[in-house]
Amino acid sequence: MQPRMQHRRLAMTLGAILAATLLSLAAHAQSGQTVWTAEQDHQNMMDQLGIQALRPGPSGDEKAPNHANYDEQQANPYPNLPDPLTMSDGTPVTSAAMWRERRRPELLDLFSEYVYGRVPAKVPPVKWSVTAVDHERIGFTPVLVKDLIGEVVDKATPGIVVKMHMTLVTPSQAKGPVPVLMMFGRAGFPAPNEPSPEEMERINAAWKKVLTQQDASLAAVFAAHPAWQMVKPTPFAFPQRNEDGDLPNTWQLVAAGWGFALFDPTSVQADDGAGVRQGIIGLVNHGQPRTPEQWGALRAWAWGASRGLDYLQTDAAVDARHVGIEGVSRYGKAALVTMAYDERFALVLIGSSGKGGATPLRRNFGEAVESLTGGEYYWMAGNFMKYGASAASFGSRTPGDIPVDSNELLALCAPRLTFVSYGIPAKGDARWLDHQGSWMATIDANRVFTLLGAKGLDISGDYHTAKMPPVNEGHLDGVLAWRQHDGGHTDAPNMKYFLLWADKWINHQPPQ
């Protein structure tokens, strides 16, 4: 190549890079994007709220000097939970109609304003498309798998595109539409269908041909190892069983004649404060920071699950009247929030959800409100940060000031099928989660199930004195159910109980 031409090439390349950089800068400028850390975003919200200082959260390390409280005697500094059956103005809620027409909307409004945040009025529509269909086998069950992308675009925010990822799996031999459990976690093909042995042989022959064309000396190598193949079938592996020796949730579900949908929350909104000006929250805000009443990640994940349900309602393989939502840990919180807000979900399996989920915010045991206003702030509305403030233009606030609590969030699931699941600390379902607190909230929520005419828990009582049932003792007779299994930070050991319980209530027969 001539030196002059080389120069021209270089100049063209540099020009192209410069143009691309300018374009991307313009896109970022349009969407208001400069890179921010989670700390900067957290500080921005503190500034918006007029907060000078937050109380620090406790340490999750039980040996650290500032570890969380684990003394039950000190766990109830605000001993009374807000009453789900009393309106904010003090009027008692005395009928199912009054719950539906007045109290439920009031509670949702309070949770939105002060805890999880509001979904902005104008969120662009989601365009779902099936990107690939695969015929697979999960265990012994043949399944049909559809991989889906739900795209959200906003012309005013060209720098941000949201592509929600969901994978729908239904048993291929089902006689009709099946109940489906949507599960928060990674999406993708569970057991990709592979080429047949004959097809693999053809692929291997083609590979060898191409490689020998590239490097003729490889012919001798291939001849010396005639039985060796480059592309091989994935060896059969037994699935990893849970602590109770049961098969994975997905295996159990399809064997029981259920479908499942894997829904990736992080494809809606990052699990990171640095991502708040991106994802669906950033897209709607044109890349600007949130205002204090706007949605946090938990509400955004729940919104995404609802959009996933919009798609499921259009799919003939799905019994859309019986779609459940499931998650563990932070996704257990998200599952509960999803169920509370969207009445189209018929069931929920809330796995080890803890603070921000089933356990009362007012309790001081393990994870604290101060954890949720510190490093985990982006899960919540900005407004929630006020309850961790020690110095602010409005003075200071405490968890006791939060107008609602988790007993009411659970009550918002009534009268639908609600299963609260935990494991045990000895196996890793840490005390941090406050199992006893969740039991208290569940017992209190039960009153709303009863008011609505649903068969609730088979235990009732006052949450102040309620004692958590022993490990492995399921309370599964009513639509509100509780079981603490003897495994770890997972809901897998409860899956078989969940399926029996759900099948009974929705009148679904597993295939023979």
Give the shortest CB-355-to-ligand GCU separation in angstroms. 6
Which of residues 253 and 350 has its CB atom nearest to ligand GCU in the complex? 350
367 scored as a contact of ligand GCU (CB under 6 A)? yes
How far apart (Å, rounded) are the C-alpha atoms in residues 469 and 489? 18
Looking at residue 434, the DSSP 8-state letter turns out to be -
Count of all residues that appear for the chain in the document: 512
Give the shortest CB-329-to-ligand GCU separation in angstroms. 3
Q: How many other CB atoms sit within 10 Å of the CB of residue 292?
A: 16
Residues that bind ligand GCU (rule: CB under 6 A) add up to a total of 7
Near ligand GCU in 454-483, by CB under 6 A: none
Q: Are 298 and 380 in contact (CB under 8 A)?
A: yes
371 scored as a contact of ligand GCU (CB under 6 A)? yes
How far apart (Å, rounded) are the C-alpha atoms in residues 456 and 113? 29
Which of residues 150 and 327 has its CB atom nearest to ligand GCU in the complex? 327
438 scored as a contact of ligand GCU (CB under 6 A)? no
Query: Which residue of 167, 329, 373, 383 would you call a contact of ligand GCU, by CB under 6 A?
Result: 329
Which of residues 290 and 330 has its CB atom nearest to ligand GCU in the complex? 330
Angle CA(274)–CA(276)–CA(279) in degrees, nearest 5?
115
Q: How many other CB atoms sit within 10 Å of the CB of residue 240?
A: 8
Give the shortest CB-69-to-ligand GCU separation in angstroms. 15
Which of residues 154 and 434 has its CB atom nearest to ligand GCU in the complex? 434
Phi-psi region of 507 (alpha: psi -120 to 50; beta: other; left: phi over 0): left
Near ligand GCU in 396-435, by CB under 6 A: 432
Query: Which residue of 259, 296, 327, 354 would you call a contact of ligand GCU, by CB under 6 A?
Result: 354
Which of residues 318 and 441 has its CB atom nearest to ligand GCU in the complex? 441
Residue 119 structure tokens: 């979904």
Which of residues 39 and 201 has its CB atom nearest to ligand GCU in the complex? 39
Q: Say how far residue 330 (Cα) sits from the centre of its chain.
A: 7
Amino acid present at 400? G
Alpha helices in 50-194 (DSSP H): 96-98, 104-110
Contact letters for ligand GCU, residues 275-314 (x by CB under 6 A): ----------------------------------------
Residues facing residue 324 across a β-bridge = 181, 347
Which of residues 285 and 329 has its CB atom nearest to ligand GCU in the complex? 329
Give the shortest CB-272-to-ligand GCU separation in angstroms. 13
Q: DSSP letters along 88-121, please?
A: TTS-B--SHHHIIIIIHHHHHHHIIIIII-BPPS
Query: Which residue of 330, 362, 386, 397 would you call a contact of ligand GCU, by CB under 6 A?
Result: 330
What is the torsional sign of CA 82, 83, 87, 91? Answer: negative
Give the shortest CB-485-to-ligand GCU separation in angstroms. 17
Find the helix or strand (DSSP H, E) in which 122 lies: none
Give the shortest CB-122-to-ligand GCU separation in angstroms. 31
Residue 66 structure tokens: 């500032």
Give the shortest CB-372-to-ligand GCU separation in angstroms. 8
Residue 452's nearest CA partner among 401, 418, 484 is 418
Give the shortest CB-136-to-ligand GCU separation in angstroms. 29
Q: Are 134 and 233 in contact (CB under 8 A)?
A: no
117 scored as a contact of ligand GCU (CB under 6 A)? no
Q: Which spans of this chain sit near ligand GCU (rule: CB under 6 A)? A: 329-330, 354-355, 367, 371, 432
